[in-house]
Structure 1
Amino acid sequence: KQDDIRSAIQPSDATLLQRILDQTQPNPFQQIAADVNNRPGIDEDDLTKLNNYLRNPEGEDIGAVGQLRFCAIDADGNIL
């Protein structure tokens, strides 16, 4: 029966299911953003520094095109 279910799920359905799961489970980026925003002395510049680190943890200058491969988060924890 499980194989029947697997064969009935199309790739687009699996993507949709994953999106639904992603929205219902806690988003680790939301917690990071909440921690950054709620800490005294943390400002927008610190969030920018955090995003720069997430994009490029080694600190290399990889340029704008290279940065597209790395994620960024906004103040609400949304992945940009």
Structure 2
Amino acid sequence: MLVLLYLKGMGEVILHTNHVLDFIDNKVWNQLKDEIVRAHRLIETRSGPGSEFLGWLDLPYQAGVKEIIRTANRLREDMKR
């Protein structure tokens, strides 16, 4: 069983649940799964409590290689000081 969640601009998040039923009763899992999907919707729509703290959703999820190298070099220089 898979649960697919979609993050705007980030593609999908896949939750593999192949072995979850070894540890959690099927009825309990179905309830948890519904809660996971509901929580994901609240985060994605920024409509739940604490939504003012979701700025991390707007961060780029891929940094360019040049930016990573530039940052690494700057940090190395800062460490020498």
Which protein is richer in helix relative to its size? 1
Give yes or no for TM over 0.5.
no
Normalised by the size of structure 2, how large is the TM-score? 0.24
Which protein is richer in strand relative to its size? 2
Compare CA radii of gyration and give the structure with the larger one.
Answer: 2
Flag the structure with more relative contact order, 1 or 2, with Cα contacts below 8 A and sequence separation at least 6. 1
